[in-house]
Amino acid sequence: MFNRPVTLQVCYASKSEDANQRMTSQEVFFKNLDALHRFIRPYTLMGTVIAITSVSLLPLQNLDDLTPTYFMGFFKAMVPGLLMTVYEVAINQLYDVKIDKVNKPNLPLTSGDLSMRTGIAIASSSLLMSLAMGIMLRSSPFLLALIIWFLLASAYSVDVEEKFISNYIVHRAREGTSTPICLLHTHSVAIKCCFCFVISVLKDIPDEDGDREFGIRTLSVILGKESVLWLCVYVLFIAYGAAVIVGLTSSPYLLSKLLMARTVDLSSKASTLSFYMFIWKLHYVECLIIPFVRL
């Protein structure tokens, strides 16, 4: 008689513990998912998607060219590109983990939300899958682009090489054949080179403290933050001025935002990061308008 209530109490306690355990597992799952999301830097993946899509649309003459074969070729180029982008941002964080403890302590590797072993696994698996797909496509130009991309990202890890390479070599399938798109629209390539320079240089401004501590001589360390900021603004003015000459038009909104560089607080990482992300948005727009500019 007296054992039954005790047994029931034990059963209820066991169910409660199981529920708490399930909640803990869910929290761990979402925490890991958030760490992975921050680790792969979605804005760089978005840049790759936009860049490859815009260049892939250049050869299209009419809607009849949008065939299943075309889309198959498009995705064959997109997937290895995204995998190489993941490798690039991963190797960047793995290589700079000590510096990021000073510059960016909230990154998943420096905060401990993601282990070094997991980061290495993500980087290596992404690289191998990207190169393997490049080999399976049996296209020397596309494989060469992936190899150059890999070498640049490994030699000096910045988030912009893929946008430059995608302007040179992207594969599309048209009527059963795979055609490389090489050296299309010289003016757009030149503008992208400017963006490559600006994004890579601006990236170092909020990292100046850690770079100086570890003896890394970036432009921000050598010239100072303010000089580098205005150098980037002048380069963008030159790029958009050249674009106007060949038929593009600059936006008043762009002009006002670039003039707002005067309000960037170089002592605030949040302020410099905000301006850095604005340049990424300009890069997105520049990629999106490329298919509408046909010389």
Q: Please give the pLDDT value at position 183.
A: 39
Collapsing DSSP states into helix, strand and coil, what is residue 217?
coil
Residue 213 pLDDT exceeds 80: no
269 and 289 in a single domain? The answer is yes
Instruction: Examine the fold and report which residue of 136, 156, 184 is the final residue of a domain before the chain moves on.
Output: 184
Residue 184 has pLDDT above 60, yes or no: no
Do 157 and 163 touch, CB atoms closer than 8 A? no
Span 207-232, mean pLDDT?
82
Q: Which residues lie closer than 8 Å to 97 by C-beta, 6 or more apart?
A: 109, 110, 116
> 274 and 214 share a domain?
yes
pTM for the full predicted model? 0.64
What is the pLDDT averaged over residues 257-264? 63
Choosing from 153, 168, 184, the residue where a domain stops is: 184
- 70 and 143 part of one domain: yes
Dihedral over Cα of 267, 270, 271, 273: its sign: positive
pLDDT at 178 over 70: no
The pLDDT value given to residue 172: 40
Residues 155 and 191 in one domain: no
Q: Are residues 236 and 215 in the same domain?
A: yes
pLDDT of residue 105: 84
Residues 193-209: pLDDT tens digits? Answer: 777 778 778 877 887 87
Q: Are residues 277 and 147 in the same domain?
A: no
Residue 39 forms part of a structural domain: no
pLDDT of residue 21: 53
One domain for residues 224 and 261: yes
Same domain, 239 and 173: no
**Residue 10 falls within a domain, yes or no?**
no
Residues 279 and 214 in one domain: yes
37 domain-assigned? no
pLDDT at 187: 52
Higher pLDDT, 102 or 170: 102
Mean pLDDT of the chain: 75
The number of distinct structural domains making up the chain is: 2
Per the CB < 8 A criterion, the answer to whether 92 and 109 are in contact is no
Given a cut of 90, is residue 129 above it in pLDDT? yes
Q: What is the pLDDT of residue 256?
A: 57
Give residue 245's domain range: 185-295
Residue 244 lies in a domain: yes
| Ranges 242-251, 257-266, 269-278, 281-290: which has the least confidence | 242-251
Q: Which is higher by pLDDT, 159 or 116? A: 116
CA–CA dist 17, 5 (Å, integer): 18
Radius of gyration (Cα) for the chain, nearest Å?
24
Do 257 and 204 have their domain in common? yes
- Residue finishing a domain among 148, 167, 184: 184
Q: Would 237 be classed as within a structural domain?
A: yes
Residue 59 lies in a domain: yes
Give the Cβ contact number of residue 138 at 10 Å: 9
Q: What is the pLDDT of residue 155?
A: 78
Give the 3-state DSSP-derived string for 219-254, with helices as H, strands as E and coil as C: HHHHHCHHHHHHHHHHHHHHHHHHHHHCCCCCCHHH
DSSP class per residue in 142-170: HHHHHHHHHHHHHHS--S-HHHHHHTT-E
Q: Tens of pLDDT along 137-170? A: 888 888 888 998 898 888 766 444 444 455 444 4
Within a domain: 100: yes
Instruction: Say what the pLDDT of residue 52 is.
Output: 86
Q: Residue 126: give its domain's CATH number.
A: 1.10.357
Dihedral sign (CA 109, 110, 116, 120): positive
* Band of pLDDT at residue 261, cut at 50, 70 and 90: low
Is the pLDDT assigned to residue 255 strictly greater than 60?
A: no
pLDDT of residue 81: 92
112 shares a domain with 153: yes
Asked if 143 and 191 sit in the same domain, the reply is no
pLDDT at 292 over 90: no
